Structure 1
Amino acid sequence: MDFEKKSFEKIIADRLEELGTNAFAVEQSANLTKDAIRSVIRPDSKRSLPRIDKALKICEALGLELYIGPPRSSNEPDHISSHRKVELFQDFAFVERFDVSLSAGPGTSGENAQQLAPVAFRRDWMIERGLVAEKCVVCSVRGNSMEPMLFDGDLVLLDRRQTDVRDGQIYGVVDIEGDTRIKRIELIDDGLLLRSENPDCRTELRHGDDANRVRIIGSLAWSGHSYDTSRQTPSRQTPRRRTMKHEWI
């Protein structure tokens, strides 16, 4: 996006078009005040420019950088311009990751979890799905009870705003003994069912007070799987079929 000689409202309008979204959707997903963006881009005389603090929040929600200050020095290699590096940085949002394993089987404690390097997600992807980086967390999966959907070692992105249970959705939870787990939750009268995707694993019941002690970390928004090629068994090669050459008369 070329920012030179563009007004603030034009930059915002162009960015919305570039992301394929609208002002209302971004206001909702980023928890901005009502009409925070719409009041900036409206074409009539009621259009208003925001204060610096509000302009900063709008830019952050759209993956833009608002900078006021002296020129910044650049030590980047010649083959990557500083402008391009800023563009690349603006394209991604960084989500906190902790060394917590959400057990797909018996739970593991998440106490004293250490923060790891954040995980980058494309901002436009998150905006399209109504996700806010600051309201999400990345953890890993341990165990096989959620296979074939989630595998041991997978990364999962949890939306921490989604703490009200919706029947049949997958959530990261802190279970009754303080264990961190990931399960599909079903609502029943005065309780919860913690279901696994693996049919060999049993469904667990949390009833009455136990159900109230289950704390929701967030709902599953994304998962990532990596393949360990060193553990893959080579497929047996199919013998090459012999062919017969036909000569047609």
Structure 2
Amino acid sequence: MSLIKKEEIKLRDFANRLKEAMGGSSLRGFEEKSGISNSALSSYLNSKSYPTLDRLFAISQASGKSVEWLASGEIPDENMVTVYQYDLRVSAGNGALVEHENPVAEFRFSADWLRQQGLHGRKLSIVPVMGDSMEPSLYDGDLILVRHEEVRDGLCVIRIDNNVLVKRVQYDYAEGKYLISSDNERYKNIELGKDFKGDFQIIGQVVRVLQRVRQAA
């Protein structure tokens, strides 16, 4: 008789957890809630395949069940809060085209620490920096914690058309325009006024650098 690894048992039991997560929903009904195809859900329920992290996240969002419980059957520690890292590439240079915004990893934070930082209950995400325009404040490869809420000023993650950038943003109330600047003096400032015809959005405010690839000189 061979021993069955704990991880294999967790995978084998995923189908049962998915059934519980779906509740009384039909395959078609849960497809509409989660955005996952009927055929993929059927494959998961029959243990023929298992969801990727982005689909596991979609199931979590649709069912209200935690990703941790769906993946392992373990109930998460209520004093720990999960924040997801996305493959969204935040450019600190001239911008990076965003094709997918799916969770690729997760970080666990103490709820007490988040309260101390004024971040508990906030919508948060973690994204990597790409480029050198924010040096020496941010380096290519740094991981930053982003708070998603309405904001006009500060160190922010922004989208200009299809480019996602991390920049310092200052709003001029008198002129009704945004001044977007870099910490690296080699990069020019950008002004976006009322006559700007493109798409501009402040995605969130950078609240902390979680992981630095190197220290400033």
| The one of 138, 156, 166 aligned to 1:171 | 156
Whether contact under 8 Å (2:124, 2:148) holds in the other structure is: yes
Deviation, structure 1 residue 211:
8.0
In the other structure, the counterpart of 2:187 is 201
* AA in 2 matched with 1:96: Y
| The one of 100, 107, 111 aligned to 1:112 | 100
After superposition, give the CA deviation of every residue in 1:124-147 in whole Å (9 maximum; x if it has no partner). 111112213661111110001111
For 2:142 and 2:121, how far apart are their aligned partners in 1? 19
For 2:95 and 2:205, how far apart are their aligned partners in 1? 17
> What percent of counterpart residues are identical?
25
| The one of 100, 104, 124 aligned to 1:136 | 124
Deviation, structure 1 residue 226:
3.7
* Correspondences of 1:224-239 after superposition (within 5 Å): 224-227=210-213
TM-score in terms of structure 2 length: 0.58
Whether contact under 8 Å (2:128, 2:143) holds in the other structure is: yes
Aligned residues: 139
CA RMSD, 1 decimal: 2.4
* AA in 2 matched with 1:185: V
Deviation, structure 1 residue 190:
2.4
For 1:130 and 1:227, how far apart are their aligned partners in 2? 26
Whether contact under 8 Å (1:93, 1:133) holds in the other structure is: no
Larger radius of gyration: 1
Whether contact under 8 Å (2:141, 2:213) holds in the other structure is: no
| The one of 82, 93, 97 aligned to 2:85 | 97
For 2:121 and 2:145, how far apart are their aligned partners in 1? 10
Whether contact under 8 Å (2:148, 2:203) holds in the other structure is: yes
Note the residue ranges of structure 1 that are not aligned, 5 or more in a row.
1-84, 229-249
Is 1:221 matched up with 2:207? yes
For 2:130 and 2:193, how far apart are their aligned partners in 1? 25
Deviation, structure 1 residue 186:
1.3
Whether contact under 8 Å (2:156, 2:169) holds in the other structure is: yes
Deviation, structure 1 residue 198:
1.1
Is 1:121 matched up with 2:109? yes
Deviation, structure 1 residue 183:
0.5
Note the residue ranges of structure 2 that are not aligned, 5 or more in a row.
1-73
Following TM superposition, where does structure 1 have runs of at least 4 consecutive aligned residues deviating by more than 4 angstroms? none
Deviation, structure 1 residue 114:
2.2
Whether contact under 8 Å (1:191, 1:211) holds in the other structure is: no
More strand by share: 2
Instruction: Label 1:101 to 1:222 Cα distance change in 2 as closer, same or farther (>3 A).
Output: same
